[in-house]
Structure 1
Amino acid sequence: MGSTDRPPPADPGTRTRMFSLDRIGRYWLPAIILVVCVVVYVLSPDEVGLEVIGVLFGGGAAVVVVNYIQKVGFAGDIERDKEAETRAFYSRYGMWPGQASPELLAEARREGMLEHVVVPERPAPRPKADAPR
């Protein structure tokens, strides 16, 4: 299970808003700081302007780094949730979700288990050949 596995949204019809608080802090704030750096450079290309640009750029870089650390931390929380749900499934049914039948997986999901776990589809069994050719 990679870090790209995410649970489906609560309502598939909802779209992510462009100006949600999360997006403003993660994307728009560093972009605005970068634009302000360019404006300051155009208005004041002297020593003071470069110092202001350095301070603003450092602040923007700090915002980006904090957002990255936070994103990695949340990904770890999701991985721990997946692991806990998988272990709860094993302790209840005596097998891992990847070994369980689709009916057993459906029953577990009805009971609220495996909320964050994505179980890969099993390939259909190939028919056996009657005689070698």
Structure 2
Amino acid sequence: MNMEELRSYCLSKHSVTENFPFDEDTLVFKVLDKIFALVPLGKWECGEASINLKADPDYAIELREQHSSIRAGFHMNKKHWNTVFIHEGEISASFLMELIDHSYDMVVKGMTKKLRDSLQ
């Protein structure tokens, strides 16, 4: 999956926006102003594509144990975030989309009922 495909997939999800709240290199995807994915663009340009995604804590550990290209979130809360290194070839596009879906769903699940209801 290339950067444009990843970006299109993230933006296709309901109520998602993108911006650069931290610096000009870190593309952030949010659902109703809550972050579910961060992409360091400079790494993509260097051939070291990665994305930070939220995960259920138990699932996060399971993913790290099963996939060498999924590690504790770089500069993130290690309990809730993973960094997925796409450039290492182990992660298929369909699996990456599943991980993005899971991250999106985790963020939505953590919202107040009022915010969740506004998504529908």
- Report the TM range for the smaller structure's normalisation: under 0.3
Q: Whose radius of gyration is greater, 1 or 2?
A: 1
Greater helix proportion: 1
TM-score by length of 2: 0.27
Greater strand proportion: 2
TM-score by length of 1: 0.26
